Amino acid sequence: MVNKLSKADKKIAYDAKLCQLLDEYSQILIAAADNVGSTQLQNIRRGLRGDSVVLMGKNTMMKRSVRIHSEKTGNKTFLNLIPLLQVYNNIDYLVPFISFFIVLKLVIFVLTNA
């Protein structure tokens, strides 16, 4: 039988993943996902698989992780992400391994053909 992770363990794992992505990559694309259906998000994830990392989470958890990571590393530029998280309700972090323009083309294609 597989043990389920507690909420605290899930938050710790999310925080570790977000911090790893912030450390590892120099570019990040923040996409507002308000009024985007689950099928559209699934198609976007499927299309970006292997080319990008898509990370979704709760705004308060994202803000907390960014603040703590900024304090830990001393890199205050991460704090510039926080105002962007306060504007929208649903946010996606997209970390592209390929050009941003290719990622944007795919996202626009999926959303317009839904």
Domain ranges of the chain: 8-112
Q: Which CATH class is domain 8-112?
A: alpha beta
Amino acid letter, 107: V
The Cα–Cα gap between 32 and 40 comes to 13
Q: How many CB atoms within 10 Å of residue 20?
A: 12
The whole-model pTM stands at: 0.74
Q: How many CB atoms within 10 Å of residue 48?
A: 21
The Cα–Cα gap between 83 and 53 comes to 22
Tens digits of per-residue pLDDT, 56-109?
A: 888 888 889 989 999 999 988 888 888 877 776 767 666 666 666 677 777 777
